[in-house]
Amino acid sequence: MDTALDSAPDTIQATVPDNMRAAVYHGSSHVAVDEILTPPIGPGEILIRVEACGVCHTDLKKIEYNLLPPPRIFGHETAGVVAAVGSAVAKYRPGDRVIVFHHIPCLSCFYCERELYAQCPVYKKVGVTAGFEPAGGGFAQYVRVMDWIVDRGVEKIPEGVPFEVASFVEPVNTCLKAVEQCDPQPHDVVLVQGQGPIGLIFTMLLKLRGCTVVTTDTIPTRLALSKQCGSAFPLNPRTDDVVAKLRELTGGRGADMVFVATAAPGLVEEAIRATRPGAKIMLFAQTSDKERIELSGASICVGERSLLGSYSASVALQAESSRLVFSGDLPVHLLVSHRVPLDKIEFAFRLATHPGEFPGENPLKIIVRPQELTACAQ
């Protein structure tokens, strides 16, 4: 039988099926694993067989709160194997192991000239899809990568690096972008609020910079892992006086910098109280228009603090984020708590968004394996 790509004479491919399985968002916060057509590719495009895709809370927010119209296939922390290439593609061949970024900027507009890549109109276009309106597509067995992403948004995975480890390149890039913007110096005392996967990546990066890292979370297992990832002082804000500890560590001044890595209410206000005059406070998890923060204007103006924001990845840091992950300089493998086959994706989403419903599970980074359709070991 001809495959879905055999009808396109301008492609070079391995064996690709006509149909595939994908987790399709149908609206009303509902996702179902359906059989759909494997996406065809054009001359400048590639098709990737997805081997691992991390579950990101950005996608979960879109699903839970129905932020985008259906149908869509989400998932953007994608690693896999090139299954087919268009006739105009010279950089990649079937069999290459790769990760893919789903956003890449034009590099020539007003915002790109100022290195504000996430504000570029081209960057805002999603260039990876498993079908329907492009939305990343990593929660499917195959994804189509469009030409401008093929040109600058694909990185080869070295032999020996597991796909689930490689899938961290995109989230590491987003965190590295925020760290670069704040420019922490060795011996700075830095607070990271929240020790989920993103907060733990911040902890790793700041430790590499030589900072004294103080971390907070209310989950004991995350605090224990935080220490393993580089936190000098993992604190539980329910039982520890975070502000007092930071003042104790800094001769009464307060933290030099704070990364707000979770969207829990009250954290930005705590960050103000915990910092010295002139400190930098990075908002990283505040991605909803519904979130509101009420601060004293004087705490920013008179205290000369800088309130910063960072969103999504930077093409300028693509090579460095890949190096940090592939080299093992960041032990991101420690963050993988669950590996699930595609047909268990609803469980994965529920576990990530409502962990309290699953006593003893302790979820961190959940990896979906689209090529698997039966339960695998966690």
Cite the DSSP H helix spans in 229-309.
242-249, 267-274, 297-301
pTM: 0.94
Within the chain, all domains assigned CATH 3.40.50.720 are found at 175-309
* pLDDT of res. 15: 84
Both tokens of residue 195? 């020790």
Side-chain half-sphere CA neighbours of 244 within 13 A: 5
Q: 10 Å Cβ neighbour count for 339?
A: 18
- Residue 178 phi/psi, 5-degree rounding, is -65, -40
* pLDDT of res. 14: 66
* DSSP conformational letter for 321: H
Within the chain, all domains assigned CATH 3.90.180.10 are found at 11-168+330-369
pLDDT (tens place) for every residue of the chain, 378 residues total: 344 444 345 667 768 999 999 999 999 999 999 999 999 999 999 999 999 999 999 999 999 999 999 999 999 999 999 999 999 999 999 999 999 999 999 999 999 999 999 999 999 999 999 999 999 999 999 999 999 999 999 999 999 999 999 999 999 999 999 999 999 999 999 999 999 999 999 999 999 999 999 999 999 999 999 999 999 999 999 999 999 999 999 999 999 999 999 988 999 999 999 999 999 999 999 887 888 899 999 999 999 999 999 999 999 999 999 999 999 999 999 999 999 999 999 999 999 998 889 988 999 999 999 999 764 444
- The CATH classification of domain 11-168+330-369, taken from the options 3.90.180.10, 3.100.10.20, 3.40.50.2300, 3.20.20.70: 3.90.180.10
CB 81 within 8 A of CB 161: no
- Residue 76 phi/psi, 5-degree rounding, is -135, 0
Q: Name the residue with tokens 């010279």.
A: 90
* pLDDT of res. 288: 79
CB 206 within 8 A of CB 192: yes
Question: Strand 336-341 vs strand 365-369: parallel, antiparallel, or unpaired?
Answer: parallel
What is the second-level CATH architecture of the domain 175-309? Answer: 3-Layer(aba) Sandwich (3.40)
Cite the DSSP H helix spans in 129-235.
147-152, 163-166, 169-182, 197-208, 220-228
- Nearest Cα residue to 101 out of 82, 79, 85: 79
